[in-house]
Amino acid sequence: MALAGERSLTKTLPMPNVCCNRIVHSSNPELQLLLDALGERFVDTPKPISREPLGDGSIAGFAATEPAAIAYDDATARGEVHTNWYVDTSRRAVQQETGLVLGDHEKPEARIWLHPADPRLPALAPASFEHSARTLLARIGIDLEGAPSLLAYRAGKRAVFRMRGSAGATYLKVVRPAVVADLAASHTALADAGLPVPRVLAWGGIGLLVIPEAHGDPLSKLLDEADPDRLLDAIDNLRQRLGDVDLGREARPSLSRRSDWYVSRIRAAASDDEKLAELTETAIARLGPRPEPRRRQTVHGDLHTGQLFMREGNVSGLIDVDTAGTGDPTDDEAAFVGHLIASVAMRAAGGWPSDPVRRLANAAWQRWSRDDEALRHGVVVHALGHALLPAERGNSALATMILREALDLTNGR
């Protein structure tokens, strides 16, 4: 089998009912599906690298090592190569399959594919290789210089490349074709309303947007020096202005709507570690029932420090508005605090200063917890989501730190 981008493989396989000659990973069913279907081609057990909730399940990513002869479908190839495989259990249809289909082809139990052959992002594979990317971008009037550099990827949703071309230093965003026109219009509407959202330079129906760099410095690099109250004042000012713009669409569904899914998955992932399992149950108990939204306005949908740029104390750039639309402002608050909690834990685990980020998280919690029940629920759901991947990777220490930070914060300590 060739690497995606050179050749794709689509097959229909029965759902596996026997395990390959490897360890059974009952706490990670997507990994088990991958091993059952393709385990013999891997040098060792693939490692979880990502998870994107979708539909009835998720898209889980795994980093694998394979013999080059197998990966390139070339008996003369030597050595080993690293590949990323994805297992989609959403049960949602795609326009064209690009990998293995397990079960009913019309509504598969799962599909398995090799990056970058994402069936929901048909522009991803050609954008990943210099020659095809140049041809693709020429169709929308952009002359590319060199190969695009992949910066971020969310399976089935979007990818972001950095590139240089006739429009200068820009970003190439790959999205689903069905949403690209609406996303370009949202950028325009927000920019026209005075929001610091970069205007789209060009876009194509295959699912491509060319976007200039945001103005200012990334907030994620300013957290050690930021004054929490001044920063939150600037963010609240931005959120108020954003709330006044009607985009005519709904925001990304709240993570709280998938709280049951996160609960079941982290319970399974934490089951082999007694301390983590106990802490997980404490966090789940802290959730309480999911509250109904009390407010509705235009929100970002995935607000965190990586989406914001600052200049002279003001928010000078807002990116990744794919998720923006009408929603509950508490969802943005919970996402912002949840990402800060994860940052505190990761900083502490890496031996870096975490107190400045913790102070910002505390200030945000105190400011926004007027509706304590809704924000607490949202923050804990985000914490469970952030803790899930390290728990599945076997990094129970990091998962534990994330949950402890969330419990301490939401308990008012």
What ranges do the domains of the chain cover? 11-114, 124-212, 217-410
Residues in the chain, total: 413
Say whether the peptide bond before residue 253 is cis (omega within 30 degrees of 0).
Answer: no
Class of domain 217-410: alpha beta
pLDDT at 139: 84
Taking each helix axis from N to C end, the angle separating 274-287 and 372-392, rounded to the nearest 10 degrees, works out to 160
Give per-10-residue mean pLDDT for the chain (413 aa): 36 39 63 93 95 90 95 92 96 91 84 96 93 87 85 95 78 95 96 96 93 93 95 97 95 90 93 94 90 88 96 96 95 97 96 95 93 88 96 94 96 62
Q: Are 231 and 238 in contact (CB under 8 A)?
A: no
**Cut 0.85: pTM above it:** yes
Side-chain-side CA neighbours of 378 within 13 Å: the count stands at 29
pLDDT at 18: 33
pLDDT at 12: 43
CA 379, 385, 391: angle at the middle one, nearest 5?
A: 130
pLDDT at 167: 62
How many CB atoms are closer than 10 A to CB 313?
12
pLDDT at 208: 94
pLDDT at 294: 77
Q: Which CATH superfamily is domain 124-212 in?
A: Phosphorylase Kinase; domain 1 (3.30.200.20)
